[in-house]
Amino acid sequence: MDQRPVRLRSGSGLSALLRRLLRWQPAEALGVQSRANPDAVVDCAVYVDGERQPGRPHYAEAYERCRRDRNAFVWLGLHEPNAAVMAGVGEIFGLDELTVAQALTDGHRPTVQRHGDVVLLVLRTAGYVEHAELTKDSEVIDTGDVMVFLGDRFVITVRHGAAGALAPVRAGIERRPALLSEGPWAVAYAVCSRMVDLYLEIAGHLERDLERAEEIVFARDRAADIQNLYQLKREVVEFKRAVLPLQAPLRALLEHDPVDPPRGLHRWFGDVNGRLARAVDRVAAYDDLLTSIVQSRLAQLAVEQNNDMRKIAAWAAIAAVQTGIAGIYGMNFANLPGLDWRYGYWAVLGAMALAALTLHRLFRRSGWL
């Protein structure tokens, strides 16, 4: 029996498979000390054909691996990186100076732009802040932003603020390898979908806040503080600024201008656009409803002030009669009637009391008191 060793040809399928398995072994498993990622790196993973590869390599090593396999890409997640970290990331992934500078600041408006071979997608993040009671200082909506940089073999997400954590996005899309196999744009879709889902969730919370505010405004036993309503109005406006501007970037993606996502993802972005339209309608309706509630409360305040002024005027009229009678008899003229009458003093006091009681009854009957 022939005992000669079997030689694998370099072009054989088994040899290619073995090389591929070796290539994607984590550095720790091969006895190689991998560099540690900076603290700003939330996660870094390599995906091949929609499957996450073992380990959490340094982003430079991960990108170098992906450049050798056209079916692979790296997803680097960053949270509030500093200038040094972004400079290193920009150098490895070929980001220009302006792109790196944009990633260091927050408060960007939702947009989609092409910077050379890199596409920048900006979205606003939002989170609902639970509160037992609405006050003039209550924070209802917490906003931030997330920037998604899309290249041929990489996607970089840079998040600012506490809201909109992307860990659920990564966990969810990793359970859908068929979708993830579409490449970096699949991550962009997942991020957009997650943000819109959060918008709809927050809209549900805001609806309950508006219902409570409406009940307080029209309740008979308590009055709503107008400052609390203005605070809720400001929070709704902030949420509106996060939701409404996203319509233009999504519309640009569906119209393939200035970028064109993979054809297999067009209908998925269309679904996100439809859900965003529902969120926009709800936010716009809530803004209008809250404006009506504020106007109703202002009208109530005007009525209350008018009632107070009528009460003041009624009491002033009652006091004017007493003041007039006392003023006349205080002039000390010799011919004033009743000065020499034994019961004149008590008669004048009785007249003053009778006038006061008559006026009070008349004002009560007319609703002034």
Tokens representing residue 248 in the block: 């233009």
Residues 227 and 308 placed together within one structural domain of the fold: no
What is the per-residue pLDDT across 63-84, written as a single tens digit (0 to 9) for each?
Answer: 999 988 888 999 999 999 999 9
Burial class, 4, CB count within 10 angstroms (exposed 0-12 / middle 13-18 / buried 19+): exposed
* Amino acid residing at 300: Q
| Nearest-angstrom CA–CA distance, 46 and 36 | 15
Residues 221 and 86 placed together within one structural domain of the fold: yes
How large is the average pLDDT for residues 78-99? 92
3-state secondary structure of 165: coil
Residues 106 and 28 placed together within one structural domain of the fold: yes
Residues 163 and 225 placed together within one structural domain of the fold: yes
CATH number of the domain residue 329 falls in: 1.20.58
Secondary element (H or E) of residue 92:
helix 83-93
- Its domain, for residue 145, covers 19-301
Among 285, 301, 317, residue at a domain's last position:
301
What is the per-residue pLDDT across 293-349, written as a single tens digit (0 to 9) for each?
Answer: 888 888 877 777 777 787 888 888 878 887 887 877 777 777 777 777 777 778 878
Structural contact between residues 135 and 173, judged by C-beta atoms closer than 8 angstroms: no
Q: Whole-structure pTM over 0.85, yes or no?
A: no
Among 301, 318, 338, residue at a domain's last position:
301
CATH number of the domain residue 106 falls in: 3.30.460.20
